[in-house]
Amino acid sequence: MSVSSVSVTADHVRTPVEIKRQQTQTDTDTLVAAFHPQQLRWSNVDWVVALFLIGVHAGALAAPFFFSWAGLAVCIVMHWVTCSVGICLGYHRYLSHKSMKLKAPAEFVAMVCGCLSGEGSPMTWAATHRLHHHKSDQEGDPHSPIRADGWWSHILWLFPKRSTESGQVLYRRYVPELVDRPMMQFFEKTFALWLWGGGLIMLVAGWILGGWRMGVSLLVWGMCVRMVAAYHSTWFVNSATHLWGYRNYDTRDHSRNLWWVAILAYGEGWHNNHHAHPAVAPAGHKWWEVDITWWSIRLLRAVGLAYDVKDRIPKGRRADDHDGPMEQGQSGHSEMASVLTEVVA
């Protein structure tokens, strides 16, 4: 129903504003239900996702039997390519938060790297992440350890089946500016092909260069071990950095900075900084808060592939370094609201 229409009820004529408000509430209810921990039950498990993750972890367990230095090298390089360039830079800081602009070739490569990570399509990732920021640690947050528990926020939230309707609502509400873009439509249709194609290339290349054992080595190290390491690195951002660490800013959620997650996830562990100022490209806000992804962004800017980079850190409310939740802080809300303008209005 168009928001410009009016609906006649037995009581009164509903205005366009009332119609839009009701649609917004309906959408919210749909997403709250879709990401509620109660959805996790045996009859509602998405077995495609579950078996895929089990298979990847099983492959990683087999890796010691197929060790090679070439396999380890491919694992390390692909971990950086997919986790830092693909997820942290491409899916997260660029697509979800618009903290920079990328020239078309750089955008395409970043999206390919994200698809190779095995974390889904660019639009699904960005929409879910924007929902997380909009409802952070509140009802409707898809992966809050505060609303549920650490295991839910770390991995279990991925397992429930979700309806086509909830996916449509998620896209309509959180990434409406992306759904009609040809590049995003292309990756929506092909994201899985990039992942499986990458694995096939590793297997065949290794087989040609060193026989079947080398092929299997490149596959299990370059794909399985790399994906398991990258998965848990990024999942710790969802779980651990909302439970442990220190706070530089007074935010309205439980986000925290955790140094070891920042190391594992190329700077994403400075999570309280990020929630305070989500549109800012660098996640490290103190000189010793190392952010490897920010180094990559600076390199892209230096060679002209990234521009309009938002690198100025606004002055926000500082937080005392203690363990209690801070409910009154406003830092970061206006920045995220600017990203979500007319998206969640």
Report domain extents, the chain: 33-339
Q: Which region among 33-37, 122-126, 273-277 has the lowest average model confidence (pLDDT)?
A: 33-37
Average pLDDT on 294-307 reads: 98
Tell me: pLDDT of 19 over 60. Answer: no
* CA 251/CA 319 separation, integer angstroms: 8
Least confident of 16-30, 142-156, 197-211, 214-228: 16-30
pLDDT band at 28 (very low <50, low <70, confident <90, very high): confident
In this prediction, residues 73-95 reach a mean pLDDT of: 98
Three-class SS state of 244? coil
Q: How many CA atoms lie within 13 A of 215 on its CB side?
A: 10
Identify the weakest region by mean pLDDT among 117-121, 148-152, 182-186: 148-152
Name the pLDDT band for 322 (thresholds 50, 70, 90): very low
> What is the length of the chain?
345
Is residue 75 within 8 A of residue 226, CB to CB? The reply is: yes
Contact indicator for 77, 69 with CB cutoff of 8 Å: no
Strands 306-307 and 7-8: unpaired
Per the confidence metrics, is the pTM higher than 0.85? yes
Mean pLDDT of the chain: 89
Angle between helices 122-134 and 182-219 (to 10 degrees): 100
Please choose, from the candidates 57, 47, 109, the residue with its C-alpha nearest in 3D space to the C-alpha of residue 223: 57
- What does the pLDDT average to over 12-33? 71
